[in-house]
Chains A and B, each alone.
Chain A
Amino acid sequence: MAGKVNRLSPFNITALALGMAFLYLPIVILVIYSFNASRLVTVWGGWSLRWYYEFFNDRAMLDAAWMSLRVAAVSATIATLLGTLAAVGLVRGERFRGRSLLSGMLYAPLVMPEVISGLSLLLLFVALNAERGFWTVTIAHTTLTMCFVTVVVQSRLASLDRSLEEAAMDLGCDPVQAFLSVTLPLIIPAIAAGWMLAFTLSLDDVVIASFTTGPGSSTLPIRIYSEVRLGVKPEINAICTMVIVLIAVVIVIASLASKLSSSKAESAAPL
Chain B
Amino acid sequence: MSARRIFAQPARYAAIAPYVWMVLFFLVPFGFVLKISLSQTAIAQPPYVPVFDFAEGWAAIKAAFAQLSLDNFRLLVSDNLYISSYLRSLVVAVTSTLILLLIGYPIAYGMARLPQRWQAIAMMLVIVPFWTSFLIRIYAWINILQHDGLLNKVLLALHLVSSPVVWLSTDTAMYIGIVYSYLPFMILPLYATLARMDPSLLEAASDLGASPGRAFWLVTFPLSLPGVGAGALLCFIPIVGEFVIPDLLAGSGSMMIGQTLWLEFFTNKDWPVAAAAAVALLMLLVPPLLLYDRLQRRQLGGAG
Instruction: Please list the residues of chain A having a beta carbon within 8 angstroms of any beta carbon in chain B.
Output: 1-2, 4-9, 11-13, 15-16, 19-20, 22-24, 26-27, 29-30, 33, 41-43, 81-83, 85-86, 88-94, 96, 98-99, 102, 104-109, 111-117, 119-121, 123-124, 126-127, 139-140, 142-143, 146, 150, 158, 162, 165-166, 169-170, 175-176, 178-179, 196-197, 200, 203-204, 206-207, 210-211, 221, 224-225, 228-229, 232, 236-237, 240, 243-244, 247-248, 251, 255
CA–CA, A103 to B179, complex, Å? 29
Q: List the 10 closest pairs (A to B, CB-CB), nearest first.
A: A113-B241, A89-B15, A120-B29, A93-B12, A92-B11, A15-B106, A86-B18, A19-B107, A26-B140, A12-B110
Most chain A C-beta atoms within 10 Å of own C-beta, residue among B132, B141, B247, B274: B132
B-side contacts of A11, CB under 8 Å: 106, 110
- What is the predominant secondary structure among interface residues of chain A facing chain B? helix
CA–CA, A127 to B5, complex, Å? 43
Q: Out of B28, B134, B148, B202, which one reaches A204, CB within 8 Å?
A: B134
Known: A5-B202, A15-B106, A111-B237. A206 touches B258 (CB 8 A): no
B-side contacts of A93, CB under 8 Å: 8, 11-15
B-side contacts of A111, CB under 8 Å: 233-234, 237-238, 289, 292
B-side contacts of A236, CB under 8 Å: 139
**Residue B41 CB within 8 A of the other chain:** no
Interface contact B25-A33, CB-CB below 8 Å: no
Interface contact B15-A251, CB-CB below 8 Å: no
Q: Out of B148, B183, B248, which one reaches A228, CB within 8 Å?
A: B248
CA–CA, A180 to B153, complex, Å? 59
The segment from B56-64, B66-74, B80-88, B120-128 that touches chain A is B120-128
CA–CA, A197 to B130, complex, Å? 10
Could you list 27 A-B pairs, sorted by A, with CB under 8 Å? A12-B113, A23-B129, A27-B132, A30-B136, A30-B139, A86-B19, A89-B11, A93-B15, A98-B19, A111-B292, A114-B238, A115-B241, A119-B261, A119-B265, A119-B274, A121-B25, A123-B36, A124-B28, A142-B25, A166-B4, A169-B6, A178-B7, A224-B135, A228-B142, A232-B139, A244-B133, A255-B124
Interface contact B26-A109, CB-CB below 8 Å: yes
Known: A1-B203, A23-B126, A85-B17. A8 touches B110 (CB 8 A): yes
Interface contact A41-B143, CB-CB below 8 Å: yes
Q: Out of B11, B18, B29, B243, which one reaches A83, CB within 8 Å?
A: B18
Q: Out of B3, B103, B237, which one reaches A170, CB within 8 Å?
A: B3
A-side contacts of B265, CB under 8 Å: 119, 211
A-side contacts of B9, CB under 8 Å: 175
Interface contact B14-A88, CB-CB below 8 Å: yes
A-side contacts of B42, CB under 8 Å: none
B-side contacts of A175, CB under 8 Å: 6-7, 9-11
Interface contact A251-B128, CB-CB below 8 Å: yes
Interface contact A8-B26, CB-CB below 8 Å: no
Interface contact A150-B18, CB-CB below 8 Å: yes
Contact with A along B70-107 (1 / 0, CB 8 A): 00000000000000000000000000000000010011
B-side contacts of A114, CB under 8 Å: 238, 241, 243
Interface contact B12-A96, CB-CB below 8 Å: yes
CA–CA, A129 to B52, complex, Å? 12
